[in-house]
Amino acid sequence: PPVISLRQGREKWAIVILNADGTYRSQLVADEGENYAPRCGKDLRAQNPNLDNCLGVAADTSTVYLATQPVSAGKTLPTNAVVAFDAATGRSRWRTDAPAEQNLMPLRVEGGRVLMYLDAMRGYGRSKGGGIYALPPTGGALQPVLRHPESATGLETYFSTAHIAYSGGRAVLTQPYISGGDDKQEKAIVPMLAFGD
């Protein structure tokens, strides 16, 4: 279904779901105190910002999946969650927390499961590889689809604002733009990282 992000200034934001004929279906109702953080448009350096170019939001005919704003507790790296909303009512159905000190970003719905990118974690002397994970429409435990090796964590964390695609058993992370002070700096930037067979 068409899922539309509406913004008025910095404070007012809503996500509206339309029927196939363009009529109003529902509006997402945020849980008290919850902040959502899909990365869209100018965050990803896109020419034309829209939800088709967002990381952290996915939808099918019955459910909209949205990433929450990462939060940190003490000396830990920020962690987020994914919330599933009923597309008919706009109300939340369930929530799944990301593993400690990592973040989940919905990519798309495929075969009835929501596919998500789990970012790599590196900090405070610890590291964990990222990967592609899935959840059934009912929520529950994360199901690994493609685990990225821990040995690539240092490079993967460098792709914090990457465009992420998953297809045919491969995950591809690309830099949204390449910019440096001179040619040498630009050539030192790794433009793409791929995982899988």
Q: Please report the pLDDT score of residue 52 as a whole number.
A: 57
Which residues make Cβ contacts (< 8 Å) with residue 187, sequence separation at least 6?
180
Range of the domain at 108: 3-196
Q: How many CB atoms neighbour CB 164 within 10 A? A: 18
Which residues make Cβ contacts (< 8 Å) with residue 41, sequence separation at least 6?
48, 49, 50, 53, 54
Lowest-confidence range among 16-20, 74-78, 81-85, 94-98?
A: 74-78
Q: What average pLDDT does the segment 163-169 reach? A: 92
pLDDT tens, position by position, 42-53: 544 444 445 456
pTM, to two decimals: 0.87
Provide the domain count of the chain: 1
pLDDT value at 60 more than 70: yes
